[in-house]
Amino acid sequence: MSGVAPALGAPPPSDAGGAGGAGGAGGEPRDPAHRARPATRLDRLRARRGWRTLLGSVVPVSWAVTLLLVPYVLLLAQSFWRLRDGVITHELTTENYRRLFGTPLYPATILYSAGVALRVTVISLALSYPLAYVLAFKVRRHRTLMYMAVIIPLWVSYLVRAYAWKIILGQDGILNGLLLSVGLIRAPLTVLLYSTAAVVVALTHIYTPFTLMPIYAVLDAIPVSLREASQDLYAGRWRTWLHVTLPLSLPGVVAGCTFAFVLSMGDFLAPQLLGGNDSALMVSNLVWSLFGVAFNWPLGAAVSVVMLALTLALLAVAGAVEARGRYGQVATGAVAEYAGPI
């Protein structure tokens, strides 16, 4: 989803117990403690009066089936349909997938998008870990306020955040202006805007708060006593970080990196605005043009299905890694509760 905003209702978790208890909403259940609470005796008594259960579940379930399951399945089905003279026929074929993997352009696009997403992920992590660390361990007063200050930009229009970089990086932009006035360059640089680097910078700007949220939640959940114990055993700050804080914060890092990667790989507006000719090479732009311009929906559906499979595989791996960590559910919970759609 392109526009993303965090929930403001609840402040960030302040202790491991409270946050852990609330963590169940994120993703799918991974361990018994993570699973939805079983129905109580009262629920079962009520459920025996079947009509209420039926009435209560019929609307949400049929809604989800009609507007989520059927469309996603239809997308999958469509990727196996044949396009004949610009008309979609319902005869099954693997032609779309053969074309997808047989034409160098398509795998190259997926690789290029993954490369952009990877760069965004690495930079976002490098930016948000120190900030999350400072927020969790160094800030004493107004911590919630400062955390909110990081999150607030997510409430600002997505387009505005993407387009701001056009003002900064353009040929007559601020960066060129500053460099000229300092004398570092003689003529305005034209390579700043409409480049892969511009897309990476803008996407990093847009998605860094997402990387920060789970990392902060996990760091915040680490009991002070663990770090104190490490220092009591004469470990310095580096060793404490390396052997105690870092391993415990890994689930947050994994969750944050997953969001940055998935979100930036699925982005198609910032690349179109800032990426120039390269933007045609992002996989979401490919889907966009196959559906919106070329009207080859079956091929577009096939590209979407590949993208969907990659995303789900990545989420499954990340989920497994997070579940192994002690504060894994804090990481997922942080985003489920404090973030909107991913």
Q: How many Cα atoms sit within 13 Å of 293 on the Cβ side?
A: 7
Residue from 263, 299, 302, 331 that binds other proteins (CB under 8 A)? 263
Residue among 248 and 282 whose Cβ is closer to other proteins: 282
Phi, psi of 150 (to 5 degrees): -75, -35
What Cα–Cα distance (Å) separates residue 61 from each residue in 35, 48, 55, 57, 208?
Answer: 19, 19, 10, 6, 35
Contacts of 178 (CB under 8 A, 6+ apart): none
Residue among 237 and 324 whose Cβ is closer to other proteins: 237
Pair of tokens at residue 150:
């990081």
Residue from 172, 183, 232, 293 that binds other proteins (CB under 8 A)? 172
Q: What's the rounded Cα separation, in Å, for the pair 159 and 228?
A: 45
Window 275 to 334, contacts with other proteins (CB under 8 A) = 284, 287-288, 291-292, 297, 300-301, 304, 307-308, 311, 315, 333
Options 96-104, 143-151, 214-222, 246-254: segment touching other proteins (CB under 8 A): 143-151
Q: How far is the CB of 293 from other proteins (least distance, A)?
A: 12
Pair of tokens at residue 248:
């415990």
Residue from 51, 130, 141, 234 that binds other proteins (CB under 8 A)? 130
The packing angle between helices 158-169 and 174-182, to 10°, is 30
Window 49 to 68, contacts with other proteins (CB under 8 A) = 53, 56-57, 59-61, 63-65, 67-68
Window 88 to 117, contacts with other proteins (CB under 8 A) = none
**Rule CB under 8 A: is residue 243 a binding residue for other proteins?**
no
**Interface size with other proteins, residues (CB under 8 A):** 109
- DSSP class per residue in 191-217: SSSSSHHHHHHHHHHHHHHHHHHHHHH
Q: How far is the CB of 101 from other proteins (least distance, A)?
A: 19
Cβ atoms of 11 and 324 within 8 Å: the answer is no
Under DSSP, the state recorded for 137 is I
Residue from 33, 92, 152, 185 that binds other proteins (CB under 8 A)? 152
**Rule CB under 8 A: is residue 125 a binding residue for other proteins?**
no
Residue among 25 and 108 whose Cβ is closer to other proteins: 25
Q: How far is the CB of 307 from other proteins (least distance, A)?
A: 6
Q: What's the rounded Cα separation, in Å, for the pair 77 and 100?
A: 16
Residue from 92, 105, 174, 185 that binds other proteins (CB under 8 A)? 174
Length of the chain: 342
CB atoms within 10 A of CB 27: 22
Q: Is 268 helix (H, G, I), strand (E, B) or coil?
A: coil
Q: How far is the CB of 31 from other proteins (least distance, A)?
A: 14
Cβ atoms of 274 and 193 within 8 Å: the answer is yes
Residue from 92, 105, 156, 226 that binds other proteins (CB under 8 A)? 156
Cβ atoms of 82 and 93 within 8 Å: the answer is yes
**Rule CB under 8 A: is residue 40 a binding residue for other proteins?**
yes
Q: How far is the CB of 221 from other proteins (least distance, A)?
A: 16
Options 92-100, 164-172, 221-229, 249-257: segment touching other proteins (CB under 8 A): 164-172
